[in-house]
Each structure stands twice: as structure tokens, then as C-alpha cells.
Amino acid sequence: MKKPFKPLFKTAAVAFSALVMLCGFCLTGHDAEIKADAASRVDLNYLMNKFPDGKYWNHVGKKGNNADGYTDKPCHHALSGGLYRPVGTCNSFYGIQCWGFVNKLANECYGTANHSSWPRTTLSKLKPGDAIRFKHNSHSIFVTGVDGEIVTYGECNGNYSDCKIRWNVQTTKSQIARSLTAVYSAPSELIVNLSNRSAIQKNEISFGEKVYIQGSAIGGDSKYQYQFSVKKPSEKNFGIVQKFSSSDRCSYFPWTKGSYKVKVTVRDGSGKTSDKILDFNVSADEVVNKSKINRKAIRFGENISFSFDADGGTKCYQYRIRALKPTETEYAVIKNFSRDSSFSYHPWESGIYRIKVDAKDGSGTIRVKEFTFTVKADKLKNKTTASAGSIVYGEDITFDLAAAGGTSGYVYEIKMIKPGSRNYVTLRNYRSGKEFVYHPWEKGEYQFKVTVRDLSYHISTVLVKVNVTE
């Protein structure tokens, strides 16, 4: 009962009889033969599927009566003198609106015509399948469940204005008793098989939103328990997110974008189960890589810093850095994917570095941002000296290996031309070290070529002549 209509029945008692006439049904009882032990021919789920909740039992936009169908459009019953008067779009089945709808449901279940022919009964003997006339003889409903005091029903035109179909409406026997006209006893109890009617709040959500799943069931043994499972976009199987419990609601936060499936399993008091699979999709904005580099040029020995940031897509970003070093031809990973928000890098070469920062969102989408920076170094200078310009035969020649500038990590190569020879002989390959000692076995002029090489493969060479005398 909607609020605006309450005063109508509280105050204008005179209107009740008028309403009866306006609703166009007949209460005269000519009881038909009824097989009291016959099972209903269809089950409640069939009725709820045939006449969906929220649709309208009418023929708005259609040519004629539409008793076996429904539309998406409400009737607009004329409100006149405080009463709703039927309009030409209402359906009829041995009566119109609520009465006709109950007749139609009863007919689907039991094959009967006007349910007014059913025997009368009392609220204490109420069972699913029965029809009730109440609200001071203004409304008829079809009973779908009785659980102690609680009565569940289906109806049409509950607000008198539009012929809307509603299921699973609940009230109490004592509430009904206050305005009861008659209870009509169905030939048998309506079959109500366990049916899972769970639903999801929204099928399309944006990343960052939660999804809410409402477990719901009818029929069977009504001590329901619900279990919720989710199949993520990248997975093959459902994973339980909420185990069997009497809680009929589950909220779930999806961590990635994509299409999900939810399985709601309802288990009734007798152990029967029924699954319902629901879908939802998580959409996300394009991933934008907003990472930055702190400088465009540094001096050798300094560090370069990266700060990582991204937007859009699905949160939980990870970042990786790849670098093409001045002396290399291919990018190499210098920092693998992690959730770190910054990284400080020490380059060991001079020249131009090319950098790719990869931002990966929670669903694996990667957006690359490229940078270059230059490492400037002083010119490499070989400062190697030998012990003296000349030594006496029998002594050693000692080299002090030294360099400056360039990109440290110096290594030295030493070659020599002996007295009387024209060709260099390699005394030592590139190696690090601070001193090199050579013992000459001949007299005369030795010529040494000392080459220093840094990490950037710059080289610098010095020639050292040493005369070995008597």
C-alpha cells in the first residue's frame, strides 16, 4: 500500500463499494468442481518468468487484450474523484487488473476460470496458490508463500495506478486480517521448487568500485544459505569469496578490469542447491604513464633519478626500467618490475643513455615512456709515469699507472719495443692496477706504450722511453 492512497481507505469508507464496481470483477460464487488433491500444473518460477517482476500486465501500445503477456509500459489509470478508474489499456481475464491477474495465475496453475468459484477458507489454513481479497475489497493478491505469520504474494496493480507486476511482496496475516474480504482456497498447494533468484547490483562498473551481489531464493525448504564465488578475467575456475552462510549479501572489490563471473550457490534446508551465474564487467580508463626523470644531463659520478607514476587502467601499478647504454646496441633491463615509486641509477659510462620506463597496470597493460640523458665526463687523461728516464742495468723499471677524467674503472695495457727491435710486444693486457714492474735484460733504449681505457671505452695513451745504461 503506497502512502498517497492510505487516506482514501481510512476516511472514505463510502468509496469501497464504488471501488469494487470500478475494478470490474464479479464476486458471485458459483463454485466449480475442484480436485482438491491435484498438484499445481506449473511451479512458481514458471509464473515469475512468464510475468516478470516490474513489467506491466496490460496492452499499452498493443491492439487488444494481452492476458498471456506483458509490456514495459505502465497504464495511466484516470484519477477521478479520489478513485482510479480503469482505462482501455488494462488486460482482462475473467475480470481486469488485480483480479484478472490473479485469475490468470490461477488458470496457469489449476486450469480454473474465475477464482471466485474456489471455496472460501481462512487465513489460518492459508497455503501457496490461494487468492486473497483485502484492503476493504479493493485489491486481490496471489499467495506464493506462507511462513508462520509471514505471507508472500504476487500481484498486479498494487498501487491502483499502472498495472505493474510485483512478486515476493510480503505482509503479515494480522495485517491482512484488518481489511480482509475473502480467502479463496486453491485446489492444491502451489508447487514452489527451489529457485535461485540472486542478482547483481550493476553489470558495468568502473575500476575502483565495489560490486554488490544480492543472494535471493524462493521455494524449497526456506532455511537458505548462500555461497559466493568469483571467476576473474584471467582465471579458468571460480574461487570462493564468501562461504556458505545465512548472509545473503556479498560485496567484492575487483582488482583488475575485464569480464568477471559470479556464481551464487543457494542451499536450502533440505540440502538442495541451485546455482546462478551472474556477469559483471570492470572498465577502466586508458593507462597513462606519468613517470619522470630528474635531469637531462649529469656529470660522471652522479646519479640520475626516476620517479614513477601512472594513472588510469587498474591500480596496483608496477614499473620497470630498460636502458640503452652509450656503448651497447640493445636495451637491457636495469630495474625489473616492482611497486617502488622511485629509483636512483648510477651510470658507469659517459655519453647518451636512452631509457624506457614501462608502467604496467593491474591488468597487465603496459605503457612505455621514453627518456634520454647525457653523462658528461672530463676528457680521459693518462697520467702514467715510469720510474726514471734512465736506469742502470740490473734495476727494474717501475710504472705508476694513473689516469684522470673519463668514466673511471681504468684498465691499462702495456706494450714495449726492445732496443734494436721495431715491433711492439704486449707485456700485459688491459687490467686494473696501480703499478707495473719490468725487468730489462738488455741495455739500450726501451720504448713503452701505456694505454688506459675507461668504462666508456675511451682510451688515452702515453709513450715512455727508458734508457738502460751500464
Task: Output Rg (C-alpha) for the chain, integer angstroms.
Answer: 45
CA gap 309, 321 in Å, rounded: 13
- Is residue 75 part of the contact set for Zn ion (CB under 5 A)? yes
Which region, judged by CB under 5 A, interacts with Zn ion, from 47-55, 158-166, 329-337, 344-352?
158-166
DSSP SS3 for 218: strand
Min CB(182)–Zn ion separation in Å: 23
Min CB(3)–Zn ion separation in Å: 21
Among candidate residues 455, 382, 381, the one with its CA nearest the CA of residue 414: 382
If the CB atoms of residues 58 and 188 are measured against Zn ion, the closer one turns out to be: 58
- Is residue 22 part of the contact set for Zn ion (CB under 5 A)? no
- Residue at grid coordinates 560490486: 211
If the CB atoms of residues 23 and 109 are measured against Zn ion, the closer one turns out to be: 23
Which region, judged by CB under 5 A, interacts with Zn ion, from 47-55, 145-153, 163-171, 187-195?
163-171
DSSP SS3 for 179: coil
- Is residue 163 part of the contact set for Zn ion (CB under 5 A)? yes
* Contact of 81 with 19, CB cutoff 8 Å: no
If the CB atoms of residues 75 and 397 are measured against Zn ion, the closer one turns out to be: 75
If the CB atoms of residues 75 and 190 are measured against Zn ion, the closer one turns out to be: 75
Min CB(74)–Zn ion separation in Å: 8
* Neighbouring residues of 397: CB distance < 8 A, sequence distance ≥ 6: 386, 387, 391, 437, 438, 439, 440, 446, 448, 466
- Is residue 143 part of the contact set for Zn ion (CB under 5 A)? no
Min CB(28)–Zn ion separation in Å: 23
If the CB atoms of residues 75 and 403 are measured against Zn ion, the closer one turns out to be: 75
Three-point CA angle 118, 120, 122, nearest 5°: 140
Among candidate residues 268, 106, 130, the one with its CA nearest the CA of residue 189: 130
Which region, judged by CB under 5 A, interacts with Zn ion, from 75-83, 196-204, 323-331, 402-410?
75-83
Chosen residue from 8, 23, 48, 90 binding Zn ion by CB under 5 A: 90
Total number of residues that touch Zn ion (CB under 5 A): 4
Min CB(179)–Zn ion separation in Å: 22
If the CB atoms of residues 163 and 194 are measured against Zn ion, the closer one turns out to be: 163
If the CB atoms of residues 8 and 278 are measured against Zn ion, the closer one turns out to be: 8
Min CB(13)–Zn ion separation in Å: 25
- Is residue 60 part of the contact set for Zn ion (CB under 5 A)? no
If the CB atoms of residues 84 and 167 are measured against Zn ion, the closer one turns out to be: 84
Among positions 189-248, residues that touch Zn ion (CB under 5 A) are none
- Is residue 156 part of the contact set for Zn ion (CB under 5 A)? no
- Distances, alpha carbon 135 to alpha carbons 2, 108, 466, in Å: 12, 25, 124
If the CB atoms of residues 90 and 414 are measured against Zn ion, the closer one turns out to be: 90
Can you point out the beta strands (E) in 309-458? 310-311, 318-324, 332-338, 342-345, 351-360, 366-376, 381-382, 385-386, 390-392, 397-400, 403-404, 411-417, 425-431, 435-438, 444-453
CA gap 154, 380 in Å, rounded: 92
Min CB(133)–Zn ion separation in Å: 18
* Contact of 323 with 349, CB cutoff 8 Å: no
Min CB(88)–Zn ion separation in Å: 9
If the CB atoms of residues 58 and 198 are measured against Zn ion, the closer one turns out to be: 58
Q: C-alpha grid cell for residue 432?
A: 686494473
Min CB(99)–Zn ion separation in Å: 12
- Distances, alpha carbon 63 to alpha carbons 58, 91, 226, in Å: 11, 11, 44
CA gap 165, 162 in Å, rounded: 9
Q: Which residues of 99-131 are buried (b: 16+ CB within 10 A; e: fewer)?
A: bbbbbbbbbbbbebebbbbbeeeebeebebbbb
Min CB(62)–Zn ion separation in Å: 13
Binding site for Zn ion (CB under 5 A): 58, 75, 90, 163
